[in-house]
Amino acid sequence: MQIDTKIIAHRGSRGTRPENTLVSFQTAINEGAEGIETDVHFSKDKQFIIMHDETVDRTTNGTGLIMDKTLGEIKKLDAGIRFSEEFKGTQVPTLQEVVNMLMKINFTGIFNLELKTNKIHYPGLERAVYEYFAGLRYPFQLIYSSFNGKSLEILNKIDPKAYEARLFKTAAKQAKTLKRSKVVEDFHPDIKWIKQHPFYAPARHLRPWVVNSTEDMQYCFERNMAAVITDYPGRAVQLRSEMRGGLI
């Protein structure tokens, strides 16, 4: 079976490593993922912080909002202990540290950066991220995504050539509007939503999340979607290989 679907690691190999950490991203790449998905916030001192939530409570041994903490304070937190004792002492990475890691290994896959502006706007984040990447020569394909359509519109005005995708659970109407306006290229819908709306968009424009079960992976591979975003990239790589070889 021909399957061109790429595998994007959701916050790295989130199912097997502490999410959004360097060890999680490196594990995913070692497992064969062709893409990395992660999230960026602003700290109190306007540093790029890689974390999913707006607070540090769930994934570290600290408490409070990222926007209320300096980079130095965030670096003192343990981002591995809540996942497992094995990863005790793992630090919260900055965007620069993640990019440096990818450049060091000459990663040529997808780097999907989600701007976490849907709950806290972080004024100036869009331009700051753009200017950071504008000053680099990086080997990977950079894709911006966000649940906040305004952030994508701001990025599009700054750089009309920026490759952007709209994340959504149910805001499909807004996503379509952004597509028609040429603000976004592709859609990153919830896999549950896309299975309920199978004719929403051509498979080549879909990268559903979070595709973790064997059933959902097969569903996406059979339809040759652009990519799947998964917590278990190693498992997805293995299943895709078996399907390509006609073993399933």
Whole-number mean pLDDT of the chain?
A: 93
Global pTM value = 0.94
Q: What is the pLDDT of residue 235?
A: 98
Does the residue 78 lie in any domain?
no
Give the confidence band of 247 by pLDDT, cuts at 50, 70, 90.
confident
Structural domain span for residue 240: 6-40+95-244
Q: Contact 12/36 with Cβ under 8 angstroms?
A: yes
Give the confidence band of 173 by pLDDT, cuts at 50, 70, 90.
low
CATH number, domain with residue 118: 3.20.20.190
Does the residue 50 lie in any domain?
no
Whether 10 sits among the annotated catalytic residues: the reply is yes
Whether 52 sits among the annotated catalytic residues: the reply is yes
Count of C-beta atoms within a 10 Å radius of residue 215: 9
Q: pLDDT tens for residues 220-242?
A: 999 999 999 999 999 999 999 99
Q: What is the pLDDT of residue 47?
A: 98
Q: pLDDT tens for residues 93-141?
A: 999 999 999 999 999 999 999 999 999 999 999 999 999 999 999 999 9
Number of domains observed in the structure of the chain: 1
Q: What is the mean pLDDT of residues 146-157?
A: 93
Does the residue 230 lie in any domain?
yes
Catalytic residue among 52, 188, 197, 205: 52
Lowest-pLDDT range of 165-174, 184-193, 225-234: 165-174
Does the residue 45 lie in any domain?
no
User: Would you say residue 160 has pLDDT above 70?
Assistant: yes
Does the residue 58 lie in any domain?
no
Does the residue 64 lie in any domain?
no
Does the residue 117 lie in any domain?
yes
- Distance CA(112)–CA(237), nearest Å, equals 18
Strands 186-189, 227-230: pairing kind: unpaired
Query: What percent of the chain stands above pLDDT 70?
Result: 94
Identify the sign of the CA torsion 134, 108, 240, 223.
positive
Does the residue 63 lie in any domain?
no
